[in-house]
Amino acid sequence: MFTVKLQRGRDMKLVQAEEINIYLAGPADGSDEDPSKRTPAVLSVETIVGAKSDCFWIADTKSGPDSRNGARPKGFAEGVIFYDCAYIENERGATTEIVRPY
């Protein structure tokens, strides 16, 4: 069992998972047709427990020209929540992976 700590500013959300998948999800020209063209500016962290899965989005919304207004990656709906980073811990509580957009 893994613990995923999703950080957004000073807030932290904890999620338990049996399996974790991380995918590149940053929009790029033509990325709708070809997933291999997606960029690491946005990452999706998929958590799976039994038959239930959830997806969380990791993106840098604090940089760029609109950082004061919370710059959103293009192509995502207004209601999508973006986290700053995710810390993945093993069953002993040791952080084994840090997921950050780049």
The more confidently predicted of residues 83 and 77 is 83
Q: What sign does the CA torsion over 16, 97, 9, 80 have?
A: negative
pTM of the shown model: 0.83
Q: Any idea what DSSP says for residue 38?
A: -
Neighbours of 60 (CB within 10 A): 17
Mean pLDDT of 4-19: 95
Number of domains in the chain: 1
Residue 76's domain comprises: 2-99
Mean pLDDT of 54-80: 76
3-state secondary structure of 67: helix
What lies within 8 Å, CB to CB, of 64 at 6+ separation is 71
Token pair of 42, please?
């946005």
Beta strands 82-83 and 52-59: pairing type?
parallel
Q: Does the pLDDT value for residue 64 go beyond 90?
A: no
Mean pLDDT of 66-81: 72
Mean pLDDT of 74-96: 91
